[in-house]
Structure 1
Amino acid sequence: MDILKADREYECFCGTGIAFDYAASYILERTSVSDIKKLKIAVVSDRIVSGYYYNKFENQFIMRDVKPFLIPVESVYAGKSISSVDTVYKYLTDFDFGSNDWLIALGGGGILDITAFAASIFSGGVNLLLVPTSLGAMAEGAVSGYAKLNSTGHKDVMSVPMKPNAVICDPTFLETVPDKTRSNGYASVIRCAILDDLSLIMDLEKPSNMREYLNRVYASRSRIEQKNPKLLTLGNEIAGAIEGYFRFMNYSEGEALALSLLCAVDDRRRAPLARIYEALHLPTSLKDVSEKVIMKTLSDRLDKISSKTLDIVDLDESNGGKWVIRSVSPDEAKEIFVERLSLIGGHN
């Protein structure tokens, strides 16, 4: 087991199989409850992940005379909502959770967001352990700094600081990640690659050493944050419009972000990146909708912005091809997005 260099106030542990042994050890070593049998532990997970792993995950606690309980929630991004948080909150209230008890997120990025949001707002506070089960959740969700929720077709419109006690990254989970979920992880790493370290793409599909690879991703993310944290919003606007139009159904978060990143890069990089997308089974153009329809969705959102300017991540080709933050008017932003969308239009 290793400690990853995530540059966060909490520790991120990584090792094959540690999720099924060290999670219990970590919690029990840090509990102040005198009678272990009175310690309350709740595991938030979705149907797919819990179906694969919950019994094995639960067993490490049962062997130590602690019986956790499962809180099932919807994992798709339409379910990453305040209603899911309310479900978790009701369980915690019904089981009389207190500040010495523990909430565990076992799942992908959506599960991490829902669980961390609930832990943040629960009266009296509650300990939080994150156990991400997808590459996207390991590479980005567990270290994003904020737990975010969707609402009425809009992505990540509610947020609270994410403050887990620790994160446990176990490569074992990646063996069963569905292809559609796997693309979520690809997209978040590709964004870091585009902004900072293109070599991250080379080992993206099957890293030979997950600990080393995650450390490279975290190091890249830290360098980007040191330059300007807003750079990590590259692609969010168009991706959010795609997901919002389809109500988070037709495109996964990663697929929408991948398309937005593809149309943001310069012509020289776009063709090679598209070939990489094809190898990773990521989309290279919009399907079942025209770029004009997506632009209409995005334009409607821009029209609701009250400020006269907004910040957009854009490539400054006159400055050696550096990514910069441009402060532009809503109309100028629309021009930028129209041009980008034309590059991935399916012409439906």
Structure 2
Amino acid sequence: MTWVRMVGSSEQTVSVRLGERSYEVTLQQGLLATVGTRIRQLTNARKVGIITDRHVARHYLKGVLRSLRAADFHATAIVLPPGEPSKSMPTVERILDHLAKQRFERGSFLVALGGGVVGDLTGFAAAIYQRGIPFVQVPTTLVAQVDSSVGGKTGIDHRLGKNLIGAFHQPRAVLVDPQTLETLPRREWIAGLAEVIKYGVIADQAFFEFLERSMADLAALRSADIIRVIGRSCEIKAQIVSEDERESDRRRILNYGHTIGHALEVLGGYRSLIHGEAVGIGMVQEANLSAHVGLCSSNVPERIRSIVLSAGLSDVMPRRTFRSLWSAMQHDKKAIGGQVIGVWPVQIGSVVIQKIGRETCAEWFRGLHVRRSDQGATHQSKVVRKTRIARR
């Protein structure tokens, strides 16, 4: 079944099929200039609020405001500090205060112009303001374009866990302009590739193999296949969300790499690792754990590690105690009854959802640190040998 259809020569649409909540993801170069007319096709409302951050506003806010006003919208903007710390209740209260003061009504629209943080915040505010108002996602980062803007998950962080407070609230549309990636900091681009890799591992062996061949060029922004990568990622996510909107079963496979990844974000105070970096480490280590319990062969984590490294991401677990890691994983939304429900690869393109208990995870973690010590000893030995040779 194909979920992506071509419209003309330069536009793609991906359908997210959810009955009366269905919508389309539209991909087109230069799409930002037409945001106003596209949203006008969805509503007769006058008021639109744009939520964005300072970095994105500097590049794109004026153009989007101009497009909305040309389409006869009364548009106002709320510009937030960038970064994960903005995903907080005080930020949501700031957005709600603005909407109330501007007398936004149930038919008024919100536009999320930015990355995953902006999208999650905007969607959550839209979900709870007057018990729900419509919003549109206009993602400007790779991680948002291929993942967080699609599927209706909205929310904010809590100091004990990522995305612990939130709601399912589907957007009316997702409008993707790949040109926004040209102003994306390299660190953000590389981090977004983690979510792209995830789709190959969980659902599409052929896509993973394509990424193995193409990753060096993709990471260096030399590839002409970037739109293809975004489109295929959206296609996979749309199909999974259409089958399981509220994460009761199949949709949970989208959490691959996130069980450990989210825990690392929490332990770093949402500052030391950005989301995709944590997911990259999480994918490698969750594959190692899967091999440890016999769910997959050692070749699977080796291939995942190789592609993660070729993307420019790290595979190395930060130095944490097992107790702190397990505690952070226990605050994950997927933990039940003292066990962590994780997503574990069985082969490239196929995963299982299964509980992992504390002792099993602790045994894997001890082995991880033994391997790290062995690697450190090997490195130290090489340094000593080089030093002796230099002295001669």
Same-fold call, TM > 0.5? yes
CA gap of 1:180–1:30, structure 2 versus 1, over 3 A, is same
Instruction: Work out the CA distance in 1 between the residues paired with 2:362 and 2:102.
Output: 49
- Residue 53 of structure 2 aligns with which residue? 46
Contact kept? 1:313, 1:323, Cα under 8 Å: yes
Code of the residue aligned with 2:188 in structure 1: it is T
- Residue 106 of structure 2 aligns with which residue? 99
- Residue 149 of structure 2 aligns with which residue? 142
Instruction: Work out the CA distance in 1 between the residues paired with 2:191 and 2:107.
Output: 34
Code of the residue aligned with 1:20 in structure 2: it is A
- Residue 3 of structure 2 aligns with which residue? none
Q: Name the stretch that deviates more: 126-135 or 72-81.
A: 72-81
Show CA shifts across 1:26-47 (max 9, x none).
22233334xxxxx211110000
Deviation at 1:239, TM superposition (A): 1.0
1:19 and 2:32 matched:
yes
Instruction: Work out the CA distance in 2 between the residues paired with 1:326 and 1:60.
Output: 47
Deviation at 1:272, TM superposition (A): 4.4
Q: 1:21-36 alignment to 2 at 5 Å? A: 21=34, 23-33=35-45
Contact kept? 2:263, 2:329, Cα under 8 Å: no
Code of the residue aligned with 1:253 in structure 2: it is H
CA gap of 1:308–1:269, structure 2 versus 1, over 3 A, is closer
Instruction: Work out the CA distance in 2 between the residues paired with 1:246 and 1:55.
Output: 35
- Residue 155 of structure 1 aligns with which residue? 162
Aligned length: 335
The unaligned stretches of length 5 or more in structure 1 are 34-38
Contact kept? 2:13, 2:24, Cα under 8 Å: yes
Q: Give the greater-gyration-radius structure (CA).
A: 2
1:329 and 2:336 matched:
no
Q: Please provide the CA RMSD for this pair.
A: 2.8
CA gap of 1:66–1:229, structure 2 versus 1, over 3 A, is closer
- Residue 344 of structure 2 aligns with which residue? 314
Show CA shifts across 1:48-82 (max 9, x none).
00011111221113334544211012331122122
- Residue 324 of structure 2 aligns with which residue? 297
Instruction: Work out the CA distance in 1 between the residues paired with 2:125 and 2:369.
Output: 36
Instruction: Work out the CA distance in 1 between the residues paired with 2:372 and 2:176.
Output: 34
- Residue 251 of structure 2 aligns with which residue? 229
- Residue 216 of structure 1 aligns with which residue? 232
Q: Name the stretch that deviates more: 126-135 or 63-72.
A: 63-72
Q: Percent identity?
A: 21
- Residue 295 of structure 2 aligns with which residue? none
Q: TM-score, normalised by structure 2?
A: 0.76
Code of the residue aligned with 2:344 in structure 1: it is D
CA gap of 1:191–1:30, structure 2 versus 1, over 3 A, is closer
2:87 pairs with one of 57, 60, 80: 80
- Residue 250 of structure 1 aligns with which residue? 272
Contact kept? 1:303, 1:330, Cα under 8 Å: no
CA gap of 1:308–1:53, structure 2 versus 1, over 3 A, is closer
Instruction: Work out the CA distance in 2 between the residues paired with 1:228 and 1:44.
Output: 31
1:2 pairs with one of 8, 11, 15: 11
Code of the residue aligned with 1:150 in structure 2: it is D
SS at match of 2:170: coil
Deviation at 1:327, TM superposition (A): 2.7
CA gap of 1:331–1:242, structure 2 versus 1, over 3 A, is same
